[in-house]
Structure formats: structure tokens, C-alpha cells
Amino acid sequence: MVDDTQLAETVTDEGHLASHGEPSAAALLGRTLGGRYHVFEFVGAGGMGEVYRAHDRELDEVVAVKTLRPELAMRPALVERFRKEVRLARRVTHPSVARVFELHNADGTRFVTMEFVEGEPLSDVLARSGPLPWGLAARIGAEVARALEAAHAAGVIHRDIKPDNVMIRPNGHIAVADFGIAFSLEDPTNDLVGTPAYMSPEQVRHERTGPSTDLYALGVTLFELVTGALPFEGDTAIAVMVARLDVAPPDPRARQANLPEAFARLVVKAMAPSPADRHPDASSLAAALEELASSFAEQAPLAVRPRDLARDPAPTVALAPFVEAGPEAREVLGAMRDELLLGLSTVEGLRLHLDDHEALRSTYGIVGRTISAGKRLLLEVRSREADEVVLSGRFPLEAKVIPALADFVLDGLALSASTRRRAREDIGLPPGAIEPWLRARRVFRRTFALDDGESLRLYERALSFAPEHAVLLAGHAMALVRFAFFSTAAPPDLDAARREIQRALTLAPNRPEPHIAAGHFALHAEDPVSAARHFRAAVRVAPGWPDGHEWLGRMLLEAGFLDDARARLEAAMAREPELYVLRWELARADGLEGRWGEAKRQIDLLERSEGQRLGRPFGMLRLALWSGEAEWIRQAVSDLEARLESGVFDPDLCRATVAAVRGDWGAARETCIAKGLLEPHASQRRSAFYAQVLCDLASAAGDVDVALRGLERAVGQGLFDVHWYEKSPSLRALRADPRSRELHATLRERAARIHDALYEG
């Protein structure tokens, strides 16, 4: 008989059994790859390469780094195939899937970053405990099937489902790992990929594989879970593969006589030789397993043996919010904090902690508070371990001291941590430009729903003192673009914004502000995929700076990648408390997902930060409409009507929307069509937004022809808001119309390209 190690061998893409062997050396330990991933623990080796744990400096979290062996990395066709597989796999987002993040080529190493799952492989649990209780086996199988359902919906098949690739988390739930050999459903190749004991007959025959291939492997896994053995035997791995071609799948009751008949039938059906005889899809198999699981007494979750995980030895620093004596200090303190966040990335090997819990365990803490009646800042760097101040300084609360303050802290940290720091680009503003710049950046970040051009005027004043300053040019360009979205007067000159951005990028390519400005411009006047690349570049040059994470998060939300988006937005708010306005974006996303309790919690937190009722009546009415709550809708209509004469975004559109909400689509239709289809705008994002509003109102009124025209207009203006289209309750009638399918496909394809651009390594 073939032994377990033979059965665990994996067939490579060339049809040979791979020898995983021992790693040559844990060569990456202690290195920081691409200036982002600090590698601190070797985990193991596989057929593709070595696996490490690393700290992601951008998001302050631990990830898995999986390398591509040098001899494989030298094969361009294989690398391109690997790149394609990673792009597919990272689109799979589900609680039961171990996420795949990015493919990189940095410092001479090709590697992919993935979610690091704490826990234990299901294969280890089986080896230790033997067959599982029926109910527990059914529950685990159902979770795997739901993970496959999500993968198949994204156009991805796994092709190597087995207990080794099912991780049991400490809470007992599972994560399907190693989507590294996933293929597009449209991929015509039929390479032999998988593990012999779990291969489907079509894999063995080199026939076309598909979702049913994964269901077969899950059937084999279920057989193993309830019997403790594999269904097919042979003297060699090849014999085991061939065995399934000649005989019907065995009944697991031959080994476990007490197994319920319904469970046995399900396992045999999943292992049917012909894909046509298996379950039609992962969803139906999951539902059958869930029904089975509910028929058994509830089982305690699997006991997982915790792995002794190493801690990242790199020194860490936490930057606490500065304590201010009054609101007049906020602008200077915010600028000081920004420069420190920018500069911390220049201290080599130093980790920035943002999570409150982790910050308590950081090596160093930077704390600041205003003294001398709010005229000076006392800044201290404390060593947590020694419980002492290792650096202390008093600075005038003036923007002109920002460069000296940043250098003082960063040089002191580098010395205390026995490390080095790279050169930093100073802000270097002349005195007259400082005050309007501080106010402009604060107004721009805090502007929540309506921009009357205040930040634009402030940047113009600052530029009068420093017309060739990159940060001011970038800020002014962003203000121009923002004003183009909100202004109902003559549109601003966006060509001027383009020229300013190009000049800023030339003057300061290593500061984030020009890249953020370029992303804003592309989002409103060019291409959203280009915008994604610019925002990604901003994060790459300044991982600690909040605005890059903000805009990555905003784009990911609209593209429908909610978990990734939430991580970015939370990172932005942790870095910059003034960005609490992002809670509105989270509330919108939660509402579209039907989590109205969480959406209202985010709105409540936002109103507490504002200290008043939320000044976004039109947006609040859209949320209320999606919720379907009559009282909320009534209150939102009342609030919007009360604001019509005191400054709202496009009063005519607001009046038409109120009429439509009250059931008079006839009165609203002409205005909504004019706004959504006919009005020209300098900002294509504004045009798309008007068309979205038209879609919602027309579809809800049953006017699907007009809604379809609105969708065509929005997509033509660069819309990529897949989340809105797929989840808005107002769009049910539009989504049901077959004519919308092609536009939906365009939206999904555009969102996928944006996701790829955001994750280019």
C-alpha cells in the first residue's frame, strides 16, 4: 500500500510528483522586503518555495510571505501564470477563505503575501484524534463548501482541496488555504495539478476541470473525516489516482457502519465519477451539509493545539493623539503629527503601532501635550520597557518648527533603537504660506458634504508666497477638483489642476501629496484605474500617512472589496483622528449590506465627533430609502426640506428627489432625467453620481427604461460602484431586466481592474 507521505505529495503543473524537501536556508529572516514586509519567522517549505511570517508596515498586521523558488522565478511563463492566479485568488473574500493579498518582486525575491491563519491544519487534527463526530464533520464540510461557493462565484477553482489546506482557527471555524494553484474557469489548459489521493477523475484524465472538481475533493475529504481513511488505495501514488477511474466510489458505511444513510449518500454523490452526477454546485452541497449538521446534537468545536508563534523582534513605536489646550492648536498639531507619520517610515526597522491594544505593548511611545497656556508643545518619547523618558523637548506651537521637531524625534528614535534613518523631504514652507496652508489642509479634510471653495481660496493665498512649492501645488489641484464636483457655478479650470499635479510630481516624487492629487484628478477627469495606481503610489512612498489609506479604502468600498476597504479606512482614522468623517463611508457600506444597526452606530459616532446633527441631508435620505424604514424616511425628508434654502447640494435635484420619495415620480421625472442624463459637468464623478440617483429613483418607481439609461450614463462616466449596483434595494427592478447584464459585467470588470491596480506589488 502507498504510505501517507506518498499520498500527501502534490503533483506540479508539469505532471510530476513534487519533492518538497528541506529549505536551503531561512534566507529572508530579518530582512524588510520592498521596504514594507519585515520578515521575522520561518514557517516551512513547500513545492513552490518557503513560507515566512512578516509584519506589514503599511497596515500594522502580521501576514504570511510565500516565496517562489529561484528556479521557478526564472521561468517567465510560469511567473505570468502565477501572477494571473494571484489576481484571481485575491478577489475571493469570505470568512472561511485565507485571503491572498499581493504578488511582489522586491529585493531580488518574488513572493506573494497572504493572510496568516493562526491555528492547525485539519490533517493534524485528524492524525491526532481520528474520525470526527458526524455533526462536526458536516459543519466543517459545510464551511468548506461555502468557501468554495465564494471562490467559484469569483471565477476561481481551488483544485487541491484536502485536509492539509483546511486550517482550523482557534475558535473552531475553518479557513481554506492555498489558492495559489487556482485557475480561471475559462482557462482552457488541463495541466495535472493537485494531490493524488484527492484528485477527481477528470483531473487524472487531463480533462477540463471546473467547480465540480473541488466538490469531488471535498467528498474525498468528507470520507476521510468520518472514516479516518481514504476511499481509494494502491501500491503507488499513480495507482491510487487510477483506482478511481475503474470503480464506483466506496460507501463510507463499509468502514463506519453507524454513519447515517443520508450522510453516506451525500459523500458518495460528491465523489461520483462523472461531474454531471455530483451536486450541481457548492451552494447546494453546503445547504445539504448544513441540514445534516442541524440534525445532530451540537458538537464542541475542535480542540486546536496552539502553535508557539514568535513575536516580531523589531522595535515598535506608538504615536498617541496630542493633548491640546484649545481648538486653536489643532491645525499646527495636526501638521506636526502628519510630518512625524511621514518621517517614521524613514527609521529603518521601526514598526508603527496604530491599534490601541498593540500600542500599549510598543517599545516606544510618542506623547505630546500643549503647555504654557497652549503656546508650546511638550513632546516626549517614552521607553515602555524601562518606564522612562528617553527623549524630551519643548517646541513653540508654530508651524515653522515642524522640520526641526520631526528631525529631533526621528533622530532620537533611531539612536535609541540602535538603527538608522534615511533622509526625509522637509515641508520647507516660507512663513507667509504656513497659516493659510494649515487652514486649507484642515478645511479640505473636514469638508464633509459641501465645499464652497474655502480650501481653494486658502491654497491660492498660500501659493502667492510659494508658487513653486509641490505640497501647495498638489493641495490647490485637489481643491480645484473637489470644487469641480460641488460647484454649480462656472466650472474651474481642470487643465490648470493637471499642470499643477505634473509640476508637483516633478518637484517632490517622494512625498505623498502629489500622488494623492494625481489620484483625485484621475478619479474625476480621467480613469479610475489610473486613480487607483496613483493612490497606491502615495501609500508606497509614505506608508504611515493617512490620506493614501483613506483613498485606497474609498475605492475598495465602491469596488465591493469590503474587508480590504474597512482595513484601509480604519488605518486612516487611526493615523488621523480628523478623518472620522470616513465613518459615513462605513455607514453606507453597512447599510447596503443590510446591517442597519451597525450603520446607525457609525452615524451616531460621527455625530458625536461633529458635536451636532449630521449635515448631510441628501445622503441621509438615500440611506433611509435603502433601509425602507418609514419613520427614518419621513425624518430625512423633513430634514432635507428644512435645508433647501440654507445651502444644500443642488436644490433642484433635492426637490425632485423629495417628490419621487413621496410617490410623485411624474413630477420628479423631467428634472431627474435632465440632471442624470443631460447636464454636462467638469467632473465625470459628479455626472456618474447624478446618474446613480436617477437609477435609484427611476427603478424604485418602476421606470426601468429610464433607470437603464441612467446606468448607461454612469458606466460611461467611469462608474465602478459595484457595491451600490448589486446591493441597493432601489435597483431590484433594474437588476432583474436582462438589458442591464452587459453593463453589470462592465462594472465588475472595471472593479476587478481597480482591485488589481491597488494591489500591484
Task: Please give the positions annotated as active site.
Answer: 160
Sheet of strand 120-121, all strands in order from the earlier edge strand to the far edge: 120-121, 166-168, 174-176
* CA atoms of 283 and 199, how far apart (whole Å): 21
Cβ atoms within 10 Å of 761's Cβ, excluding its own: 20
**CA-angle at 450, arms to 448 and 453, nearest 5°:** 110
Contact 546, 579 (CB under 8 A): yes
Sheet of strand 50-56, all strands in order from the earlier edge strand to the far edge: 32-33, 37-45, 50-56, 61-67, 109-115, 100-106
User: Of 152, 144, 200, which is closest to residue 177 (Cα–Cα)?
Assistant: 144
Query: 434-438: which pairs have CB atoms within 8 A and are 24 or more residues apart?
Result: 434/398, 434/399, 434/400, 434/462, 435/399, 436/461, 436/462, 437/399, 437/462, 437/471, 437/472, 437/475, 438/331, 438/332, 438/334, 438/335, 438/399
The position carrying cell 539612536 is 415
Contact 217, 160 (CB under 8 A): yes
Letter for the amino acid at 442?
A: R
* CA atoms of 339 and 391, how far apart (whole Å): 18
CA dihedral 21, 27, 33, 36 (to 10 degrees): 90
* CA atoms of 747 and 594, how far apart (whole Å): 22
* CA atoms of 138 and 296, how far apart (whole Å): 9
Contact 593, 562 (CB under 8 A): yes
* CA atoms of 259 and 256, how far apart (whole Å): 6
* CA atoms of 734 and 715, how far apart (whole Å): 14
